[in-house]
């Protein structure tokens, strides 16, 4: 197993454009999480999925953000009409079960909005 | 308002000595705590955890101590090695807190040879 992968690793976009990131969790992990991390801060929770169901969303997740996990495997995070304040590292993590708090993180996608 | 605080942005320790990283939390609903280590250009890696029913958990060179009354936990690394140089994040969650894991801002540890 190669661990959690994220694509792309880096994305530069102009303000107002839409971007989509992909996360492939560790196979058989049924929980998937999205976080955002800015410089000097720890990861901030955005949302999480149990299989294909999105069970929790942070207040940080504005209407411009949407996440999907259509078949309970990979997930996508889309940001519409990007703003400069969206510039951050977007991290994905997966977890094997409801009884495990341990999360396995991917390397992240660094978004720069110009 | 930060619910999980790591008040030392950085820490330098000599190789072979003990590293002590501290974490404070404010939310009494938290009952599970984790430490993650992060190298540059990589995602955080799980290191060790502790439940609120315990006050100590040990895994090799890493020991986490929890003081519930003070809402304080610490990570001890003994002996410290140069490969331990990384950013360490404290995180908290709880059964009644959903899946919203709250991370501290991190402490950068440098272990000097």
Q: How confident is the model at residue B98 (pLDDT cuts 50, 70, 90)?
A: low
- Which two structure tokens, joined as six digits, stand for A58? 């942070």
d(CA A19, nearest CA chain B) in Å: 21
Q: How confident is the model at residue B1 (pLDDT cuts 50, 70, 90)?
A: low
Those residues whose C-beta lies under 8 Å from the C-beta of residue B43, and which sit 6 or more positions away, are: A4, A91, A93, A105, A106, A107, A108
Q: Which of A31, A43, A48 sits opposite B44 (nearest CB)?
A: A43
Span B81-95, average pLDDT: 93
Mean pLDDT, chain B, as a whole number? 93
Cα separation of B17 and B27, whole Å?
32
Mutate one of A42, A59, A102 to test the B interface: name it (highest B CB count within 10 A): A42
Q: Is the pLDDT of residue B96 over 90?
A: no
- Which two structure tokens, joined as six digits, stand for A109? 């996608």
pLDDT at A71: 87
Closest CA to B74 of B48, B102, B43: B48
CB contact under 8 A, A102 and B93: no
CB contact under 8 A, B99 and A4: no
CB contact under 8 A, B89 and A43: yes
pLDDT at B20: 98
pLDDT at A20: 98
pLDDT at A60: 77
Provide the β-strand partners of residue B66.
Answer: B73
Cα separation of A63 and A69, whole Å?
17
Low-confidence ranges of chain A (pLDDT < 70): 1, 98-100
CB contact under 8 A, A48 and B99: yes
**3-state SS track over chain A:** CCCCEEECCEEEECCCCCEEEEEECCCCCCEEEEEEECCCCCCEEEEEEECCEEEEECCCCCCCEEEECCCCCCEEEEECCCCHHHCEEEEEEEECCCCCCCCEECCCEEEEEC
- Which two structure tokens, joined as six digits, stand for A94? 């997966």
A and B: number of Cβ contacts within 8 A? 55
């Amino acid at each position: 197993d190669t661990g959690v992968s994220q694509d792309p690793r880096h994305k530069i976009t102009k303000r107002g454009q839409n971007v989509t990131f992909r996360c492939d969790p560790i196979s058989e992990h049924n929980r998937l999480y999205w976080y955002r991390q800015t410089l000097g801060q720890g990861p901030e929770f955005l949302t999480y999925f149990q299989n294909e169901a999105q069970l929790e969303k942070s207040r940080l997740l504005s209407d411009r953000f949407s996440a999907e996990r259509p078949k309970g495997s990979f997930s996508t995070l889309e940001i519409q009409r990007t703003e400069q304040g969206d510039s951050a590292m977007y991290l994905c993590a997966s977890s094997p079960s409801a009884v495990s708090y341990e999360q396995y993180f991917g390397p992240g996608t660094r978004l720069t909005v110009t | 308002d930060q619910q999980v605080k790591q008040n030392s942005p950085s820490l330098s320790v000599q190789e072979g000595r003990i590293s002590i990283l501290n974490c404070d939390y404010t939310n009494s609903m938290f009952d599970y705590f984790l430490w993650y280590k992060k190298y540059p250009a990589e995602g955080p890696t799980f290191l060790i955890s502790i439940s609120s029913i315990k006050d100590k958990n040990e895994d090799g060179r890493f020991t986490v101590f929890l003081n519930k009354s003070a809402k304080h936990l610490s990570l001890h690394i003994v002996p410290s090695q140069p490969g331990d140089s990384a950013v360490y994040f404290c995180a908290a969650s709880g059964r009644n807190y959903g899946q919203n894991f709250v991370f501290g801002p991190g402490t950068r540890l440098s272990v000097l040879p």
